[in-house]
């Protein structure tokens, strides 16, 4: 089991850097992980005492919560990977300013945690309502982040980051309580470990997927922009002349204005195709949630129908 987990983590962290299945060590690690999992499953199904406790899977809330933790891990940690990349690569914020941009979201996440905790403590409203509301709000935020322009300022970005923190608080508290409350005492440690394992595995998979998607979108946009950046393009000629005129007005020597204008155009083109790539990644997260939301409802119905209710 430990060997297979090391292999899976290696694949998810290094796959995008090495073109996934085009790199032989990645393929070897996948085969090793599969062989180890088959061996572990064979050992666990031999009829003797098992290494892990699986009794908690008999309960509907735990099985449903573990499935949702995979999705929540991919959404939360995947978007957490994209937001600093957008602020540093597109908005050209220093690292410390990028952190400050996201700092206010923690306040709203804490506020949402308090709201959920107080409501669940003093009312009979089920935690599933907050979980679904958090997922819906998170999808709306990701879609709007996919529409932000490359010249957006802090004031235009802060609202959606704060709403993201609010949505995370709704998801995290409700999902944790729903999954781990009323699990039998003998299985509570195994349930907590499996729940955290599912969340971290979802985070690794979601981050690896978004890294690969971002690279593919950036390469595609670079090709499109590269075909458009040609001296045969009248728009490019007009833009270059405007840049040269502006540089001349700011005191640049005449022999420096053409290369400086070209450097500025290339820098702006790179910022634009990077911004479009990040927008595509944010929208992909929103579409993933749109596709997964009916599956979440179906998983809840099936687990409640065929598995046990929470233990007393």
Return the pLDDT at 104.
Answer: 85
- Tokens 């690569």, residue located: 89
Return the pLDDT at 284.
Answer: 96
- Tokens 């996201």, residue located: 102
Using CB atoms within 10 Å of the CB of residue 166, give its burial: 0 to 12 exposed, 13 to 18 middle, 19+ buried.
buried
3-state SS, residue 32: helix
DSSP bridge partners of 59: 308
| Rounded Cα distance, 57 and 62, in Å | 6
Residue 254 has a CB neighbour count (10 Å cut-off) of 9
List the structure tokens of 194: 């499996």
For 106, phi and psi rounded to 5 degrees?
-65, -35
Length of the chain: 312
For 308, phi and psi rounded to 5 degrees?
-80, 155
Return the pLDDT at 226.
Answer: 72
pLDDT mean for each 10 residues of the chain (312 residues): 95 93 95 95 87 90 94 94 92 86 89 94 92 95 94 87 94 92 88 94 96 94 76 68 70 68 75 92 95 94 90 60
| Rounded Cα distance, 253 and 247, in Å | 8
| Rounded Cα distance, 77 and 172, in Å | 12
Q: What's this model's pTM, rounded to 2 decimal places?
A: 0.89
Cβ atoms of residues 104 and 162 within 8 Å:
yes
Return the pLDDT at 92.
Answer: 87
Residue by residue, DSSP assigns 182-237 as T--GGGHHHHHHHHHHHHHHHHHHHHHHHHHHHHHHHHHHHHHHHHH--TT-HHHH
Comparing C-alpha atoms, which of 84, 104, 105 is closest to residue 93? Answer: 84
267-289 b/e (C-beta count within 10 Å ≥ 16 → b):
eebbbbbbbbbbbbbbbbbbebb
Return the pLDDT at 267.
Answer: 79
Using CB atoms within 10 Å of the CB of residue 186, give its burial: 0 to 12 exposed, 13 to 18 middle, 19+ buried.
exposed
Cβ atoms of residues 113 and 106 within 8 Å:
no
């Amino acid at each position: 089991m430990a060997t297979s987990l090391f292999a899976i983590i290696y694949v998810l962290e290094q796959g995008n850097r090495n073109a996934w299945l085009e790199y032989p060590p990645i393929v070897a690690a996948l085969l090793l992980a599969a062989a180890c999992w088959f061996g572990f499953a064979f050992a666990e199904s031999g009829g003797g005492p098992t290494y892990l406790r699986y009794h908690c899977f008999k309960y509907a809330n735990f099985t449903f919560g573990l499935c949702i933790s995979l999705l929540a891990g991919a959404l939360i940690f995947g978007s957490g990977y994209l937001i600093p990349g957008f602020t540093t690569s597109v908005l050209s914020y220093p690292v410390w300013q990028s952190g400050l941009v996201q700092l206010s979201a923690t306040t709203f996440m804490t506020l949402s945690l308090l709201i959920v905790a107080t409501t669940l403590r003093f009312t009979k409203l089920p935690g599933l309502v907050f979980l679904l509301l958090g997922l819906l709000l998170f999808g709306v935020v990701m879609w709007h982040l996919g529409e932000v322009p490359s010249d957006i300022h802090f004031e235009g970005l802060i609202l959606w980051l704060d709403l993201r923190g609010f949505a995370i608080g709704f998801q995290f508290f409700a999902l944790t309580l729903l999954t781990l409350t009323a699990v039998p005492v003998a299985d509570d440690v195994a349930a907590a470990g499996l729940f955290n394992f599912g969340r971290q595995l979802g985070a690794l998979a979601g981050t690896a997927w978004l890294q690969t998607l971002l690279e593919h979108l950036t390469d595609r946009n670079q090709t499109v922009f590269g075909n458009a950046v040609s001296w045969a393009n009248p728009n490019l000629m007009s833009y270059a002349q405007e840049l040269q005129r502006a540089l001349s007005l700011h005191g640049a020597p005449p022999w420096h204005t053409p290369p400086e204008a070209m450097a500025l155009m290339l820098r702006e083109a790179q910022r634009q195709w990077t911004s479009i790539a990040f927008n595509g990644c944010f929208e992909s997260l929103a579409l993933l949630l749109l596709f997964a939301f009916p599956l979440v409802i179906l998983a809840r119905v099936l687990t409640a129908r065929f598995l046990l209710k929470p233990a007393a």
